[in-house]
Amino acid sequence: MAARKPNHPLQRYEKRAGARLCYLPPPTPRAGTRSRSFLDVLRQALTGEEEISLDFVYGDTKDGRFIPLDGQQRLTSLYLLHWYLAVRCRVSDEERDFIKQFTYHTRFSSRDFCAKLATICPVLNDRRISEWLQDQHWFAGSWRKDPTVQSMLVVLDDVQALFAEVDDEACHVAWTRLTSEANPSITFELLSLEEMGLTDELYIKMNSRGKPLTEFEHFKAQFEQVLKEFEGALPATREQTGRYAKFTRKIDQDWADLIWTFRGANDNADEEFLRLFRFITDITIWRHGLDARPADEDLEATAKAIYGGPETEVTLAAQNNLFSVLDGLHAEFAFATTMADIDKWFRTLFADNEHRAGTVTIFGDVNLLDDCCRSYGLSQGRNRAFSLPRTLLLHAVIEYIVTDSRPSRDEIRERMRCLRNVIFASQNEIRVEIFRALLDEVSDYIVSGDLAALKSFNRAQVEEEVAKASFLLANRSVELGESMYRLEDHDLLRGNLAMFDLNVDERVFIRRARAFDAIFAGKTSYEEISQALLACGDYSQKIAGDRFQFASPSLPSVWRDLFVARSRPGVDNTKATLTELLDAVHDEGLVDIEATLRKISEDYLREAVASKKYDWRYYMTKYPAMRSGKSGIFISSSYEMGFDLCMMEQTRLSSYYSDPYVRAVLELAEVPQDKYFSVWHYGYAGYEADSRWSLYSSNNRHFLRITQEGFQIKSGRKSRIQAILDGHGVDGDGSLNVRQSTIAGIVFDRKDRVVMAADLVREIVKGED
């Protein structure tokens, strides 16, 4: 008999030599996989050679009967296992008579069910036991509402399923091993509270048994067993790790103190600890290339494979990492008594959505550890609730905490800033398939500060970080550094300064940074900004042969994609146009940005009118309706910007689109479109250059469409408005053409076609009324 000295009688346990301890709780209808796991352990003990102990059962003996205070579920499972094997083996009534001695005291219905069950011996077949029992005429209706009875029915079905493949001979062996008084295969220890000098009330306060173990309690017991068995299997010549003893101590002390701060609204931190444990374990799986899948739902099986696996050195490395991280986090946040304390720690490194001097904006909750404990392993639709980029950032924080050669606070802020920039620019590179390399490189970079370590991240962004560091080093200006960091922390840039020239005088860079910040401070609408940007030039980027990306009147993400792009055709034009706008805004003044932007647009339009050069850029600058497509995408069958354009509401042709010129005409004419015309088209079959007619709302007949030379008009009652058409120069086939000229390959109207068509439409609608 082996024993350890207890700190308290309730902590003592004893077991037979060779038997293993099982802390798994017995099943309930909600236990699912855990229920079958427990029963499977019992089945293996009965059909194999190993013995198993179910730990202590506490209670008292009265009038020759043992009345347990806890262990009800374990004892019930054993009772049902006895009943099943007795029925399966068709043992005599005399041999199974002892089963009748097991009963329930608290519920009459449970007591009656057990009494009835002990007297019957059904013939088992492929039908589930629960179905057979509930079909019997003597099955009381009250039993269907008794949770204890319903739990027992679930267990009986599980037992039946587990023994389905066990033959009759093996079942007889299992019955013998189960009922043997000399060498039983399943045992538990009785511990009398009276002998221990404890009252029922004191025991309940101390132990909180009598209800099923929580998922966390179950996991903790299982993991303790994993560590214990691993240590027991180490060669006698090898120094013991002591991890089992350390875990049992720390999980209820130091680590409990750490995680308690992260507890949820239920004043319980169990789930939070399990998510943190899963995070650390997944990092270990990735970094060591272990044969397990990160974020596997079966955390217990994963933990056993990683921290109790057969490869000793690999397993020890995994255990080292787990204990190192938990100990490091506990030491770092030992000062914290509230979540506000930990928030404050993270806010010395990070800011959430706005620039704050001395920190790095990460565009989300700054307390990465709290976010991990709340959401790691969960999903939001198809996405991870705790994303891979945030996983890398938290990994970097932990590496900073646990490394022996910890960087200074200034160094870690600088490294976190560069790392943030690189991570946010590496959307295409951050993939599960190469996550091991990404994690290793982050670790190397946090310790060394050498950007060359980030080999698997976006190469262009790493090179930009090197260039920015050289720019700052060459100038050593506090103002330059603050201007650059403020730019990097802008939501539309997120660390990427591809749109800014770093080979300029520091004063030029600073003034452009100020202009950008003033323009995109959130006080001016995107619609006004896009107008002024178009006035400065064609800033579009080609995202496909016939697709051109402009800014959106409402979506920041579209602007961000424009500003952080590096390889799209047209990126250089975007950069040159933005630079021209920033310089113009600086020259005009930053006091009233809206007035400045308006003046830039008006100056361009005034020059176009004076020279009578009306091209597509003029029309898009002049008329807000032509910039109203939410996606900012224009599609042209001629593969160039001009008069053949589809303005997209969404990103694909299978969504709604419209003709920007027709929309501008109807808006300028002040025609209520819902009353007279429909202009949106649904591109389920693609688009055709000559079929984008606006339609009469009343009969869906064609009314107005754009042509290369102008517009074409169709009227179902042309005779009534022929005079109007003639007066506006509309020819016989309904064409309203504009005189044009071509300069350097660009077609210019000599008059504003939108004004011409709007005047005509206004009169036609008036005539129709």
Q: What is the 3-state secondary structure (H, E, C) of 156-219?
A: HHHHHHHCCCCCHHHHHHHHHHHHCCCCCCEEEEEEEHHHHCCCHHHHHHHHCCCCCCCHHHHH
**Token match 């062996």: residue?**
173
Contact between residue 458 and residue 422 where contact means Cβ atoms under 8 Å apart: yes
Could you give the CA distance from residue 694 to residue 679 in angstroms, rounded to a whole number? 5
- Residue 184's nearest CA partner among 388, 18, 13, 32 is 18
Distance separating alpha carbons of residues 348 and 404, to the nearest angstrom = 21
Residue in this structure with the two tokens 């013998």, named with its chain if needed: 176
- The lowest-confidence range among 40-49, 57-66, 169-178, 250-259 is 57-66
Question: Which of 270-274, 564-568, 622-626, 722-726 has the lowest average pLDDT?
Answer: 722-726
Mean pLDDT along residues 474-481: 92
Cβ pair 48, 235 in contact under 8 A: no
pLDDT at residue 647 is higher than 80: yes
- pLDDT of 673 > 80? The answer is no
- Give the per-residue pLDDT at 657: 86
Backbone angles phi, psi at 563, to 5 degrees: -80, -25
| φ, ψ for residue 252, nearest 5 deg | -105, 0
Of the ranges 57-66, 322-331, 714-723, which is most confident?
322-331
Checking if the pLDDT of 288 tops 90, the result is: no
| Position 208 confidence tier, pLDDT thresholds 50, 70, 90 | very low
- Check pLDDT > 90 for residue 106: no
Mean pLDDT of 541-566: 95
Return the minimum-mean-pLDDT range out of 77-91, 473-487, 499-513: 77-91
Q: Is the dihedral of CA 330, 336, 337, 340 positive or negative?
A: negative
Lowest mean pLDDT among 123-137, 188-202, 442-456, 615-629: 188-202
Mean pLDDT score, 238-258: 85
- At position 316, the amino acid (one-letter code) is L
Greatest distance between any 2 Cα atoms in the chain = 116
Q: How far apart are CA 128 and CA 131, in angstroms?
A: 5
CA distance 301 to 223: 10
Q: Alpha helix (H) ranges present in 350-429?
A: 368-375, 388-402, 409-424
Amino acid at 553: P
Q: In this model, does residue 683 exceed pLDDT 70? A: no
- The tens digit of pLDDT for each residue in 30-86 reads 334 445 567 878 888 888 877 887 777 777 777 777 777 667 778 888 889 899 998
Rounded Cα distance between 695 and 675, Å, is 11
Q: Confidence class of residue 143 from pLDDT cuts 50, 70 and 90?
A: confident
Q: Which residue has the higher pLDDT, 751 or 78?
A: 751
- Ranking 203-217, 329-343, 563-577 by mean pLDDT, the lowest is 203-217
The residue among 199 and 258 whose pLDDT is bigger is: 258
For residue 24, name the pLDDT band (cuts at 50, 70, 90): very low
Count CA atoms within 13 Å of residue 163 on its CB side.
33
Considering 118-132, 243-257, 412-426, the range whose residues carry the highest mean pLDDT is 412-426
Residue entry with tokens 């025609």:
671
> In 3-state terms, what secondary structure has residue 298?
coil
Q: Which residues contact 25 (CB under 8 A, 6 or more apart)?
A: 31, 34, 38, 73, 74, 212, 213, 218
Q: Which contacts (CB < 8 Å, 24+ apart) does range 168-173 have?
A: 168/88, 168/89, 170/47, 171/85, 171/88, 171/89, 172/89, 173/46, 173/47
**φ and ψ of 574, to 5 deg:** -60, -45
Least confident of 254-258, 274-278, 399-403: 254-258
In whole angstroms, give the CA distance from residue 429 to residue 458.
7
- Average pLDDT value for residue range 298-312: 88
Over the chain, what is the mean pLDDT? Answer: 85
C-alpha radius of gyration, the chain, whole number: 38
Task: Report pLDDT for 210.
Answer: 44
- Quick one: pLDDT at residue 637? 87
- CA-nearest of 53, 60, 49 to 16 is 53
Contacts of 160 (CB under 8 A, 6+ apart): 84, 124, 128, 129
Size (the chain), residues: 769
- Residue 4 has what pLDDT? 27
Count other C-beta atoms under 10 Å from residue 469's C-beta: 13
Q: Is the pLDDT of residue 473 over 60?
A: yes
- Listed range (177-191, 303-317, 431-445, 575-589) with the worst mean pLDDT: 177-191
Res. 619: pLDDT tops 90:
yes
Q: Is 70 left (phi over 0), alpha (psi -120 to 50) or beta?
A: beta
- Residues 6+ away with beta carbon under 8 Å from 717: 768
Among 383, 206, 376, smallest CA distance to 282 is for 376
Mean pLDDT score, 252-269: 85
Using the predicted structure, report yes or no on whether residue 520 has a pLDDT greater than 70: yes
The amino acid occupying position 31 is: A
For residues 515-524, average pLDDT? 94
CA-CA distance, 244 to 233, in Å (whole number)?
13
**Amino acid in position 389:** P
Residues 6 or more apart whose CB falls under 8 angstroms from that of 752 comprise 609, 614, 619, 622
Supply the pTM of this predicted model.
0.73
E strand spans, 629-749: 633-635, 646-648, 656-658, 677-678, 681-682, 694-696, 702-706, 710-713, 735-737, 740-743, 746-749
State the average pLDDT over residues 467-484. 94
Least confidently predicted of 87-96, 629-638, 668-677: 668-677
pLDDT of residue 125: 79
Give the angle subtended at the CA of 396 by the CAs of 358 and 317, to the nearest 5°.
155
Quick one: residue 465, left, alpha or beta (phi over 0 = left, psi -120 to 50 = alpha)? Answer: alpha
735 strand-pairing partners: 712
- The answer to whether the CB of 489 falls within 8 A of the CB of 355 is yes
pLDDT: is 344 or 729 the higher one?
344
Among 54-58, 379-383, 462-466, 542-546, the range of highest mean pLDDT: 462-466
More confident residue, 573 or 81: 573
CB 532 within 8 A of CB 498: no
What pLDDT is attached to residue 747? 93
The amino acid at residue 83 is W
| Inter-residue contact 560 to 493 (CB < 8 Å) | yes
Place of tokens 């899948």: 293
**Burial of 279: CB neighbours in 10 Å, binned 0-12, 13-18, 19+:** buried
Find the Cα–Cα–Cα–Cα dihedral 542, 548, 554, 556, rounded to 10°. 0
Percent of the chain with pLDDT over 70: 87
Statement: residue 517 has pLDDT above 70: yes
Counting DSSP H helices and E strands in the chain, the numbers are: 31, 23
Q: Note the pLDDT of residue 768.
A: 63
Most confident segment among 143-152, 676-685, 706-715:
706-715
Between the ranges 95-104, 201-210, 288-297, 507-516, where is the mean pLDDT highest?
507-516
Side-by-side strand order, sheet with 694-696: 677-678, 694-696, 702-706, 710-713, 735-737
The domain locations on the chain are 2-207, 215-329, 335-455, 458-611, 638-769
Is residue 71 left, alpha or beta, with left meaning phi > 0 and alpha meaning psi from -120 to 50? left
Q: What is the pLDDT of residue 37?
A: 65
